[in-house]
């Protein structure tokens, strides 16, 4: 009998230890970490705001460039069995930021992270999502690289084309910045009821219509802007193929194609009355601002007395701050998906709207397995 009692006590103690170890393992497995994959201080500001809202500390890691510009990532804590969120904002050095994200994801994958979710507010190469001449769809290539590196999910914001989500083999949550920009219009633009939403090109008309309908404002569309570099340009395919000796095109009438007329855009026109109104131009990306400056001049000529530009991603490359400062544009409002503190110092017309709240909430909901529908309420398909 004593032997049976001792055996029972030993077995119970062993079972208790096993159950405690399993519960500890489950607790650690249910945890999550938030890392920043940027090597520059300016790019980690958004990650710090997100972690402050979540009430967690930023994961311990070191991301740096070797003397030969190779990217190195050292993760300084255990990530085994956890959900890992990598926040990667894209600075001007786009390719370096992409390599930092890929190396960080692969490092976490090899360290047995359960799920690796990339938080990429501005998705790079999103403009290269269509086949152009003899080019390539670079956005599809980047999607394949991220999947190969180990990412299992992506949170992004206002993709340049919504069809980009189809390039990925894993879920993509494409959040919207429009609620924050609409709130800015209502709170910060005096007499916004006298405003009109403007699409600077027919391709942006659907987004502008979505803003106009929710603000109960009118809509104007600009047409006839200068031909952009993505349009039809001479690339050699318009030239006839070389003919071999003894052959003429008259011998092959079936191969003759009808002559294609060259596309020619009319002078810039504005469809809609902007006279005596506040013109608000909306778009998803503002990078090279020449088109926006030209649009502002036309709107001023048509009688608009104030001009605002609202965009999600403020890349503001090259001479953008100087051109904005010298233009008829009164204010440029962008979100903090891309760091642009230097540009703001150069041009006080640039204002920033913080979107860390919705990114933090998306992280929380994904980790807890909650529905994301709440973040898309009152969001239209064309937004």
- What pLDDT, on a 0 to 100 scale, did the predictor assign at position 150? 96
**CATH code for residues 178-226+268-353:** 3.40.50.2020
Higher pLDDT, 268 or 105: 105
CB atoms under 10 Å from CB of 279, counted, come to: 29
> Residue range 140-168: average pLDDT?
95
- What pLDDT, on a 0 to 100 scale, did the predictor assign at position 265? 72
- What pLDDT, on a 0 to 100 scale, did the predictor assign at position 17? 44
Consecutive H or E run containing 329: none
Instruction: Work out the mean pLDDT of the chain and round it to a whole number.
Output: 85
Residue 25, pLDDT above cutoff 80 = no
Residue extents of the structural domains in the chain: 32-175, 178-226+268-353
- Read off the pLDDT of residues 193-220 as tens digits, 9 standing for 90 and up: 999 999 998 989 999 999 999 999 999 9
Task: Answer whether 107's CB lies under 8 Å from 40's CB.
Answer: no
Residue 229, pLDDT above cutoff 70 = no
- What pLDDT, on a 0 to 100 scale, did the predictor assign at position 227? 47
- What pLDDT, on a 0 to 100 scale, did the predictor assign at position 11? 45
Share of the chain above pLDDT 90, in %: 70
Write the class of the CATH domain 32-175.
alpha beta
- What pLDDT, on a 0 to 100 scale, did the predictor assign at position 242? 55
- Read off the pLDDT of residues 39-91 as tens digits, 9 standing for 90 and up: 788 789 999 999 999 999 999 999 999 999 999 999 999 999 999 999 999 98
- What pLDDT, on a 0 to 100 scale, did the predictor assign at position 230? 47
User: How far apart are the C-alpha atoms of 139 and 307, rounded to whole Å?
Assistant: 33
User: How far apart are the C-alpha atoms of 277 and 192, rounded to whole Å?
Assistant: 9
Task: Answer whether 122's CB lies under 8 Å from 337's CB.
Answer: yes
Q: Which of 145-154, 228-237, 336-345 is predicted least confidently? A: 228-237
Report in angstroms the alpha-carbon separations of 358 from 121, 315, 372.
11, 20, 11
- Read off the pLDDT of residues 110-139 as tens digits, 9 standing for 90 and up: 999 999 999 999 999 999 998 888 889 999
User: How far apart are the C-alpha atoms of 184 and 186, rounded to whole Å?
Assistant: 5
> Residue range 355-379: average pLDDT?
93
- What pLDDT, on a 0 to 100 scale, did the predictor assign at position 26? 35
β-sheet with 32-36: strand ranges across: 32-36, 83-87, 115-120, 153-157, 172-175
- What pLDDT, on a 0 to 100 scale, did the predictor assign at position 133? 83
- Read off the pLDDT of residues 272-315 as tens digits, 9 standing for 90 and up: 999 999 999 999 999 989 999 999 999 999 999 999 999 999 99
- What pLDDT, on a 0 to 100 scale, did the predictor assign at position 380? 78
In a 3-state reduction of DSSP, which class is residue 255? helix
pTM: 0.83
- What pLDDT, on a 0 to 100 scale, did the predictor assign at position 327? 95
């Amino acid at each position: 009998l004593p032997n049976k009692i001792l055996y029972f006590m030993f077995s119970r103690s062993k079972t208790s230890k096993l159950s405690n170890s399993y519960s500890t393992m489950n607790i650690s497995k249910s945890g999550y970490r938030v890392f920043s994959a940027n090597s520059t201080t300016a790019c980690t500001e958004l990650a710090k705001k997100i972690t402050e809202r979540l009430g967690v500390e930023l994961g311990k890691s070191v991301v740096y460039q070797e003397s030969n510009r190779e990217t190195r990532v050292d993760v300084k804590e255990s990530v085994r069995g956890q959900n890992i969120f990598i926040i990667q904002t894209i600075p001007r050095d786009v390719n370096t930021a992409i390599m930092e994200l890929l190396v960080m994801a692969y490092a976490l994958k090899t360290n047995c992270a359960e799920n690796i979710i990339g938080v990429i507010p501005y998705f790079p190469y999103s403009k290269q999502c269509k086949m152009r001449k003899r080019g390539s769809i670079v956005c599809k290539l980047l999607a394949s690289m991220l999947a190969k590196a180990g990412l299992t999910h992506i949170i992004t914001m206002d993709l340049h084309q919504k069809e980009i989500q189809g390039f990925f083999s894993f879920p993509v949550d494409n959040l919207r910045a429009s609620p924050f920009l609409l709130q800015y219009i209502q709170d910060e633009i005096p007499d916004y009821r006298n405003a009109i939403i403007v699409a600077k090109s027919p391709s942006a008309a659907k987004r502008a219509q979505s803003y106009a309908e929710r603000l109960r404002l009118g809509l104007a569309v600009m047409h006839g802007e200068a031909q952009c570099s993505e349009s039809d340009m001479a690339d050699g395919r318009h030239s006839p193929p070389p003919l071999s000796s003894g052959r003429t095109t008259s011998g092959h009438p079936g191969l003759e194609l009808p002559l294609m007329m060259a596309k020619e855009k009319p002078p810039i026109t504005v469809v809609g009355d902007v006279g005596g109104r506040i013109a608000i131009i909306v778009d998803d990306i503002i990078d090279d601002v020449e088109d926006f400056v030209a649009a502002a001049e036309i709107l001023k000529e048509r009688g608009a007395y104030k001009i605002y530009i609202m965009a999600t991603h403020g890349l503001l490359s090259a001479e953008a701050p100087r051109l904005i400062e010298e233009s008829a544009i009164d204010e440029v409002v962008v979100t903090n998906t891309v760091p642009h503190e230097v540009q703001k110092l150069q041009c006080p017309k640039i204002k920033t709207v913080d979107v860390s709240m919705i990114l933090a909430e998306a992280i929380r909901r994904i980790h807890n397995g909650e529905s994301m529908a709440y973040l898309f309420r009152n969001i239209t398909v064309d937004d």
